[in-house]
Amino acid sequence: MSSNAPNPERILVVDDEDGIRTALQRTIARTGHESFLAADGADGLAQAAKIRPAVIILDLRMPKMDGHTFLRRLANLDLDSAVIVSSADGEMDDVIEVMRHGAVDYMRKPWSPAEVVSAIARAIETRERRLRPRTSDAIAAPPAAAMQQILERIQRGEILLPSVPTIVHELRELVVDREASIDDLVKLVERDQALSARVLQLGRTAHYAHGKQMDLSGTIARLGMQTLHSLVETVWLNGCFLPKDPRYAELCQRIARFGLARALAARSLATPAKLTGTTGYFSGLFADAGAAFLLHVVVEKHETPPPPEACLELVRDHHEEIGAQLLKQWGHSDEVVRRARHHHSAPATRGRSEPSALLCAVASSIAAEITGDTDLTGAMPSREQADACARALGIDDETRSKCVAMAATELGAVLQVL
């Protein structure tokens, strides 16, 4: 074994293909780390309990015990292993699921040795951050103290912000590529069976179908690149944060539904605010991503989380900054990041208030109207204030009414596929 790793670590490979195990063993040897091999999930769990590896490279598709089951059972072993999942499928639902269950990275087969080396380095770095001395979770701590500890652990890198799936990255690149075609989009979507089904389902809703049934290519052509992009980002965001506690799950669902309604309204009214429809949509959709993330973390990191109402009060104080950190890491535009950081700032309807702030107030008012709910994460403008913001943007009552009708119809269509 080579000695180019300053602190050699144990790396466990769990994969049912002999060729894959051999290739990974050779690559790991070149890094100076020590490899251990398992041909199935049961053997992998037994070895993990015995050798306590720093990193586990896990195949997602295996007979008898798949990678999802392995991850759930691994959680019961109380190890500090950083798990890299490897799969040829790369479906977005799989990416979301494995990240929710503790995986730190996702490699799509076929990967190169350089990609493996980089993934191992990132996994080891992640594990080291987790193991740095830290304050205990203080399960019985008051809500304020518990939330402060969570914020400190996020800042130290001990609680990881979820990563963007590969398919979302690739779609973003296609969206800005002037040479990209419908065929390119179809090929990307076809790689993910669950996403393909959702796209077809959306295309068959009354809002988009117009009485016609079409195949995947025709559906994508009808939806258009921007609508497809919005759908993919929405599906991924809605799958990121799903607390197991039903009380918190309901809060997250309400936050997500309100955010989607706000996004649809902001997209249709983006032009008066001098924004593109895509920027308007993502500013509305991702504004409360920090709130959903914090609620998810509270449940996952505390056996007895504080009452939802008390926790929500504290989330309101911190979710804008955490959300901005998330969106910056996820590669969103400066405008989307800035709106997440300040979306609860009260807009002035006179003077020098930014158009995007005025738009957020109008879109939030419309979201409340079509969902029958309120923004759980902070104060909302009154209807009178929102109307004043609309007038400041030059949005008349007729335009607003059309937006309400369109956003309500589109909300119903998108909710059918989430």
pLDDT per residue as tens digits for the range 285-341: 999 999 998 888 777 766 676 777 777 877 888 888 888 888 988 999 998 998 898
Find the length of the chain: 418
Domain with 29, as residue range(s), is 10-131
The answer, yes or no, to whether residue 137 has pLDDT greater than 50, is no
pLDDT of residue 17: 94
Examine residue 370 and state whether it is found in any structural domain, yes or no. no
> How many whole angstroms separate alpha carbon 221 and alpha carbon 225?
8
> How many whole angstroms separate alpha carbon 258 and alpha carbon 366?
10
Q: Which of 189, 93, 199, 175 is nearest to 414 (CA)?
A: 199
> How many whole angstroms separate alpha carbon 367 and alpha carbon 392?
19
Q: Which of 100, 137, 147 is nearest to 291 (CA)?
A: 147
Omega cis (within 30) before 306? no
DSSP state of 272: G
pLDDT band per the 50, 70, 90 thresholds, residue 123 = confident
Number of domains in the chain: 1
Q: What is the dihedral of CA 414, 322, 374, 300, to 10 degrees?
A: 80
pLDDT per residue as tens digits for the range 370-394: 999 999 998 888 889 999 999 999 9
pLDDT of residue 142: 43
pLDDT of residue 365: 95
DSSP, residue by residue, 282-298:
HHHHSTTHHHHHHHHHH
Q: Which of 394, 320, 393, 403 is nearest to 353 (CA)?
A: 393
pLDDT per residue as tens digits for the range 17-31: 999 999 999 999 999
Contact 68, 60 (CB under 8 A): yes
pLDDT more than 90, % of the chain: 48
Contact 312, 376 (CB under 8 A): yes
Chain Cα centroid distance, residue 304? 25
- 210: buried, middle or exposed (CB in 10 Å: 19+, 13-18, 0-12)? exposed
- 310: buried, middle or exposed (CB in 10 Å: 19+, 13-18, 0-12)? middle
Distances 330 to 86, 166, 280, 362, 405 between C-alpha atoms, Å: 21, 12, 17, 26, 32
Omega cis (within 30) before 110? yes
Examine residue 19 and state whether it is found in any structural domain, yes or no. yes
Q: At what angle do helices 225-240 and 182-190 cross, to 10 degrees?
A: 20
Examine residue 391 and state whether it is found in any structural domain, yes or no. no
Residue that wins the pLDDT comparison between 303 and 139: 303
Examine residue 221 and state whether it is found in any structural domain, yes or no. no
Place of tokens 């204030």: 385
Q: Which of 33, 23, 213 is nearest to 127 (CA)?
A: 33
Sheet harboring 82-87: ordered strands across?
34-38, 10-14, 55-59, 82-87, 103-108
Residue 365 has phi, psi (to 5 degrees) of -65, -40
Q: Give ∠ CA 123-125-128 in degrees, rounded to 5.
A: 110
Examine residue 64 and state whether it is found in any structural domain, yes or no. yes
Q: Which of 60, 30, 55 is nearest to 126 (CA)?
A: 55
CATH of the domain at 84: 3.40.50.2300
Place of tokens 């009060």: 313
- 166: buried, middle or exposed (CB in 10 Å: 19+, 13-18, 0-12)? middle
pLDDT per residue as tens digits for the range 279-298: 999 999 999 999 998 888 77
Mean pLDDT of all residues in 64-73 = 90
Distances 225 to 200, 229, 312 between C-alpha atoms, Å: 14, 6, 36
Contact 333, 370 (CB under 8 A): no
pLDDT per residue as tens digits for the range 74-110: 988 888 899 998 887 656 666 667 766 778 778 888 8
Examine residue 410 and state whether it is found in any structural domain, yes or no. no
pLDDT per residue as tens digits for the range 29-49: 999 999 999 999 999 999 999
Examine residue 108 and state whether it is found in any structural domain, yes or no. yes
> How many whole angstroms separate alpha carbon 355 and alpha carbon 78?
50
The answer, yes or no, to whether residue 139 has pLDDT greater than 60, is no
Kind of pairing between the strands at 10-14 and 55-59: parallel
The answer, yes or no, to whether residue 348 has pLDDT greater than 90, is no
Q: Where are the beta strands (DSSP E) in 160-235?
A: none
Q: State whether residue 249 is helix, strand or coil.
A: helix
Chain Cα centroid distance, residue 206? 28
Examine residue 253 and state whether it is found in any structural domain, yes or no. no
pLDDT band per the 50, 70, 90 thresholds, residue 243 = confident
